[in-house]
Amino acid sequence: MADIKRIECGNRMSMAVVHNGIAYLAGQVGKPGDSVTEQTREVLAQVDRLLAEAGSDKTRILTAQIWLADMADFAEMNAVWDAWVPQGHCPARATGEAKLATPDYKVEIIVTAAL
């Protein structure tokens, strides 16, 4: 039976769970009220930090789910994303529009990565 490692485990959820060579990250959001650009930068910095703690990095991301509060922000988010993802290491990705936890959140990103 493979061990399960929980990273930043709280009452409701963990920020990441590692099992069987895969890191599953919870949805990451930026500081409420910041611009889409700033929230995306903050989210991706959190993803980098959590992946490092799990023993992985952004070149090992398998899938990404991106939720935007407004699809009109797609190009603004993509400008940050495109500068962040290393060339040749693009994950499978889906982007959609959804109501997020509060109206102050503009972007939420969920990733799964290999170790």
- CA dist., res. 53 & res. 68, Å (int): 26
The sign of the dihedral angle between the CA atoms of 99, 39, 16, 63 is positive
Residues making up the chain, counted from first to last:
115
pLDDT, residue 42, reads 98
pLDDT, residue 36, reads 98
Q: Which of 115, 111, 106, 113 is nearest to 94 (CA)?
A: 111
Condensed to tens digits (0 to 9), the pLDDT of residues 41-79 reads 999 999 999 999 999 999 999 999 999 999 999 999 999
Q: Is the pLDDT at 2 greater than 90, yes or no?
A: no
Condensed to tens digits (0 to 9), the pLDDT of residues 19-35 reads 999 999 999 999 999 99
What are the structural domains of the chain? Answer: 4-114 (3.30.1330.40)
CB 58 within 8 A of CB 84: yes
pTM: 0.96
